[in-house]
Amino acid sequence: MKDRPRPSIPITSAKYLVDLSTFTMKQGWDIKNYTSDIGQLFMMGYPEIIGRLFVLNAPLYFGWMWGIMRKWLDPGTVGKVVVVPASEMMPKPTKYIDTESIPSRFGGEFAWEHGTPLDLDVRIQSGLEWKEEGKLPPGPMKWVLDESGRKTAVVVGSIEGVARTTMIAQVKLEDEAIRVGTAEKNIRMTGLERTRDVAIATLPFRDDNNGDN
């Protein structure tokens, strides 16, 4: 994938690709029971982060199912959902996503399959002081501030029912542009001066071998 043309501008929304190639009619009726809950999550959980949601490989009957399910969703969220016919698999997404960032299974150039570990950019990898392997392990992670205010990547969740909170890397001091700036200012403003375990960002990862995360 190519670098962002304007890296100084923060990312505030994302584009999602949803593959329905294995979607069945029974699943459609099952999910209608909790579509309302999903809608509430979309509306209440920072809906502005959803830029577009592309539904790919949708079966023919998905159209009328979607007509029912959309009634439980916020109109603003519904407007961001794009159902893409097979004949338009590439033209529609490429209006918003670079071809290099679209998985090859959908006609793009990104060699990715479900379960592929996160491939860190060389600059990001070299900007971290790794505790051991120099790569991200499977499972959920988050950023925290240690006692000195240094950003630290920690793996969380559990393995076979045993909770884990292991530090895997820290941002190198020379690369920590916001080490004490905005993050600590926000801590003081929210009255959390004594709480250093502050999630600056959450990195969602899936561990197919671990159902507890």
CA distances from 184 to 103, 154, 202 (A): 38, 18, 17
Q: In this structure, what token pair is assigned to residue 200?
A: 């600056």
Q: What's the average pLDDT block by block, 10 residues per block, for the chain (213 residues)? A: 68 82 73 63 68 85 80 80 80 85 87 77 83 80 88 88 88 60 39 34 37 42
Residue 116 lies in a domain: no
Q: Give CA–CA dist 122/182, Å, rounded.
A: 26
Residue 24 pLDDT: 76
Residue 3 pLDDT: 64
Classify residue 99 by its DSSP letter.
G
Q: Which of 71, 106, 141 is the last residue of a domain?
A: 106
Q: Give CA–CA dist 149/164, Å, rounded.
A: 22
Residue 179 near residue 127 (C-beta atoms within 8 A) = no
149 in the same domain as 195 = yes
Residue 152 pLDDT: 92
Residue 101 lies in a domain: yes
Residue 199 pLDDT: 34
Q: Give the CB-side neighbour count of residue 144, counting CA atoms within 13 A.
A: 15
Total domain count, the chain? 2
Domain with 182, as residue range(s), is 122-203
Report the CATH number at residue 94: 3.40.525.10
pTM score over 0.85: no
101 in the same domain as 24 = yes
32 in the same domain as 87 = yes
Phi-psi sector, 175: left (phi>0), alpha (psi -120 to 50), beta: alpha
Q: Give CA–CA dist 40/155, Å, rounded.
A: 28
Q: Give CA–CA dist 199/196, Å, rounded.
A: 9
Residue 67 lies in a domain: yes
Residue 212 pLDDT: 44
Residue 31 pLDDT: 63
